[in-house]
Amino acid sequence: MNKISISTLAAALFFLAACNSGGGENTQEPAENQMQTQEAPQIDPGTVNNPMTAEQPEADPNDPTLPVLSFESDNFEFPGTIMEGERVRHSFKFTNTGKSDLIISDASAPCGCTIPSYSKEPIAPGESGKIDVEYNSENRGGGRHEKSVRVTSNAIPKVKELRIVVNVTPKNAE
């Protein structure tokens, strides 16, 4: 029993001595100092002339300095009928009819069968752009399909909804 106590005591002293090596100084930096700080990228203020961002709450619709997202049409019905499994695509064309740069921050659809794509670059006043919307009818069945895309921007209105309508003939109808 005496040998076990001496061995245990020796191990404990060795452990304590090892923990205190380095002269009692903490050799690790605190966690907050270990994180590398990254500076935010510098943006040239002349690149984007806009008093609003898409993350801000809805702006005053009477503010004449804001961008205005004006679509040629916000609804599109594909002519005729497509066969189930086909993909169709439409471009919604728009113009920034406001007084400052338009920034589209998001375009999304609630269903994975509808995929929007858009430019991430600012659209200057008077300039035009487009939002492409692709609909995939694979495994969607037949009938009339109405799908929407929500466009979020720094414009008035902040959120705009686009709609497409597709008539699909089911595969088993051949």
Tracing tokens 């594909």 back to the chain, one arrives at 78
Class of domain 69-173: mainly beta
Round to whole Å and give the CA distance between 50 and 126: 14
Question: Per-domain residue ranges for the chain?
Answer: 69-173
Instruction: Report helix, strand or coil for 64.
Output: coil
The pLDDT assigned to 88 comes to 97
Which of 152, 160, 153, 156 minimizes the C-alpha distance to 65?
A: 156
> Tens digits of per-residue pLDDT, 14-55?
444 444 444 443 333 333 333 333 344 444 444 444 445 545
